[in-house]
Structure 1
């Protein structure tokens, strides 16, 4: 590839969720930060083949979900290959759609999976783990050590069955605390729990008001019945919350968080007793919380921005002779 590398990022099927739209925007921002505004284009999958023919980018990157039949990447791949260009797919929904991976395995020169364990279940010769990340422009906020913290424990996200089970196990520890659980399915649990949805700007404001943010992974398998792969790598909220200056308690049963953050940056727990000890350590110690938030934010800024992921993709392609 030439020194002035150009890239086209394509995604956006008909049924793409709002959350995926935001992740896609952050990924595009990261590539722009890495390569420069003039060297990065983005296009909806429906028109991406025409954009490739018109602009002839050096690198064509498919991102997002490969599950919906309406999201077909084959045409994009063929357009790039006719021009001799490198094609990459970043599977940002792994491992929840793993059974449908055959839809992309023959269309791209390299595949990057957001899940470390999920990356082991492709049959493609060039598969690599590439976790999601955060965006400086959209997620970073200076930490104010003097800000009030009216919320003791915050969680935002859908009340999947796995999350409900974890919270039920923690109820004794949470009793008497000022709670803020927001997302579909939580409202039936009573005071401090709400079914409402909020946008990213509102969530960032809540991060600043919370002493502790619970980080609970999801377990919603659309097409993951063949191998039943347990999600391993941290999701994007982990990096987003760190950039926002939140103190996170990460529910961990795979230890994958330690590939991204140390225990001093993002404390983890796997049972009620460990969670209780973390509360005792952090809840009424603002200096400890401030130090932990600063360490996590520093790590996210140095290692876990989407610009870092873009650089990792380029370095990996160069290492295997595809760039």
Structure 2
């Protein structure tokens, strides 16, 4: 289904149920011992989405370590866990038992799928519903009540009003860890990139020469770089922590796609499956799968400021209408209602 065809369905999901969910207590738990900084940011934005749906003051966020005692004290209607289920020290069984004891509905949003699929026994049958951030990966849970729920963007953290006359000093930008799959793509594009003013930033890139840096940058720095860049590369990752049993290829675009679109970046998306078209149309985010495709993109878009602006604007508008965490949580609530859990 194209992104355009999904608009009516998404609008209906946004409009439904807000009165029914307002006032119900929700406990959001995540943040295991090894939680990454990126996951902590996702958790903060998901809390915003829950508050959009259930109301300010009705959502309490706790660490998984204290979640069981918090459930006993608060007796929430919904216990919503999210994040990674990989570390064996992160034990969700106690949380699920306490939730059942107080009659709470339980849901887990796996935000690292499919990279940890081999460790999915950690959540197994502890939760009433599992939401997976990956469309293809969600098929590999050996249980029912598993639904695909993509990640998204948060307007408070990611939205920046677009300005037409911003000075663009960077031709091509990429920010992210130099995973092997990303290095392969960049090496293939090097004959083109060497002719441009590039900034490729993140751990593992510095060895590749001029325009490359090992630096780690904060979210606000990244958003500022978006505003100065003509093209922003969107490259998937290949680091599979525990994905050896089925070797599941990731399908759904990661959160950076939605975050960059909300920030007004003109993205160029690398993929071979065209899964992106479930979320954005061709006049919002162009895609490439090889050097020839990328060369055509450079020729068409690099010097056409007006065209890039209009496409970035459309992608930003689509994101604000369909791809915020508030939209995702509303969709999750619709799934729970359809299963007669709420």
Q: Counterpart in 1 of 2:11?
A: none
Q: Residue 253 of structure 1: CA displacement?
A: 1.4
Cα pair distance change 1:322/1:283, threshold 3 Å: same
TM-score scaled by length of structure 1: 0.98
Aligned to 1:179: 198
Aligned to 1:65: 84
Aligned: 1:53 with 2:72 = yes
Say if 1:184 and 1:2 are closer, same or farther in 2 by CA, change over 3 A. closer
Structure 2 unaligned residues grouped into runs of 5+: 1-19
> Is contact 2:134-2:149 (8 Å) kept?
yes
In structure 2, how many angstroms separate the alpha carbons of the residues matched to 1:228 and 1:169?
24
Other-structure match for 2:17:
none
Stretches of structure 1 that go unaligned for 5 or more consecutive residues are: none
Residue in 1 that maps onto 2:275: 256
2:271–2:288 CA contact under 8 A, matched in 1: yes
* Residue number in structure 2 paired with 1:209: 228
Output the CA distance in 2 between the equivalents of 1:306 and 1:32: 10
Q: Distance in 1 between matches of 2:238 and 2:320?
A: 28
Match of 2:330 among 294, 299, 311: 311
Correspondence list, 1:151-170, <5 A: 151-170=170-189
1:19 maps onto 2:38 in alignment: yes
Could you tell me which residue of structure 1 aligns to residue 341 of structure 2? 322
Secondary structure of 1:211's aligned partner: strand
CA distance in 2, matches of 1:189, 1:200: 24
- Asked whether the equivalents of residues 23 and 55 of structure 2 are also in contact (C-alpha less than 8 Å), the reply is no
Q: TM-score, normalised by structure 2?
A: 0.93
Give every structure 1 segment of 4 or more consecutive aligned residues whose post-TM-superposition deviation is greater than 4 Å.
none
Q: Does the CA contact (< 8 Å) of 2:110 and 2:133 recur in 1?
A: yes
SS at match of 1:257: helix
Measure how far apart 1:4 and its partner are.
Answer: 2.5
Deviations 1:73-118 (A, max 9, x none): 1111111001111000000000000001111021000000000000
Q: Tell me which residue corresponds to 1:76.
A: 95
| Alignment map for 1:10-159 (pairs within 5 Å) | 10-159=29-178
Residue 287, structure 1, aligned to residue 306, structure 2:
yes
User: Which residue, 307, 310, 320 being the options, matches 1:301?
Assistant: 320
Secondary structure at 2:81 match in 1: strand
